Amino acid sequence: MSSHAQDLTATPGGRETIWSGGGSPYAIGSNKLGMWLFIVSDAITFSALLVAYSYTRTSTETWPRPFESASVINATVMTLVLLSSSVTMVLGVRAAKMGIPKRAAGWLFATLMGGVLFDILHLREWFGLFHQGVTPWGNPWGTPLFGATFFGLTGLHMTHVTIGVFYLAVVALGTARGKYNDEVVEVAGLYWHFVDLVWMFIFPLVYLLSAKI
């Protein structure tokens, strides 16, 4: 019997068989696999919104271009903040893997502060648009659909950032107390990088494509 066939049927050293959950076909924990599956489904949700937005954007002549230089600079700073918070997240996961939970918690805290800053800048932008009369059902410049797609898309993303901030806070506190292992930090990192990744599409498609400079 080959060693491969043995792997499927026998229980060397009392290990469970593959068919009763003893195998690890992806060589990662179930938490991490669960987060990956969630990310794939969430990516499809965001893709649907982005494609719907892009479709109406390119097929509408009267699409408003409300984003002046100040807005573009604001959104560029938001991008910078989110990209940098991804780097602090990578460093946090690294510290957790090296077995330094206190340092990992510090980096996680830095990451979530990036998320808070992003939310503040984004809300400032939103309130600026409210003052100019943009609502989900209308605006002073052109097709009313602009508000619906803009607030729908950026609102869903902002919700993800906000949930991420609370998620990272829980993980940071738990890690500092030694309650969580490095896999929990890594899984939180996957979520945070995904939120960053989605913004890499929203920023150019929503802001740069409708810039008025």
Q: Residues interacting with other proteins, by CB under 8 A? A: 25-28, 33, 36-37, 40, 43-44, 47-48, 51, 54-56, 58-59, 61, 72, 76, 79-80, 83-84, 86-87, 89-91, 94, 98, 186, 189-190, 193-194, 196-197, 200-201, 203-205, 207-209, 211, 213
Asked whether 135 and 152 are in contact (CB, 8 A), the reply is: no
Residue 207: DSSP 8-state: I
Closer Cβ to other proteins, 165 or 202, answer by number: 202
What's the gap between Cα 203 and its chain centre? 13
Cβ 197 to other proteins shortest distance, Å = 5
Closer Cβ to other proteins, 67 or 180, answer by number: 67
Closer Cβ to other proteins, 105 or 187, answer by number: 187
Helix, strand, coil % in the chain, rounded to nearest 5: 75, 0, 20
Residue position matching structure tokens 């502060």: 113
CA distances (Å), 95 to each of 36, 45, 82, in order? Answer: 22, 32, 20
Cβ 67 to other proteins shortest distance, Å = 9
Cβ 183 to other proteins shortest distance, Å = 12
Cβ 87 to other proteins shortest distance, Å = 5
Cβ 120 to other proteins shortest distance, Å = 20
Closer Cβ to other proteins, 48 or 70, answer by number: 48
Would you tell me how many other CB atoms lie within 10 Å of the CB of residue 114?
25
- Identify the bridge partners of residue 135 per DSSP, sorted by sequence position: 138
Cβ 54 to other proteins shortest distance, Å = 7
Q: Give the gyration radius of the chain's Cα atoms.
A: 22
Q: Is 138 helix (H, G, I), strand (E, B) or coil?
A: strand
Closer Cβ to other proteins, 169 or 205, answer by number: 205
Would you tell me how many other CB atoms lie within 10 Å of the CB of residue 159?
11
Asked whether 85 and 192 are in contact (CB, 8 A), the reply is: yes
Closer Cβ to other proteins, 84 or 162, answer by number: 84
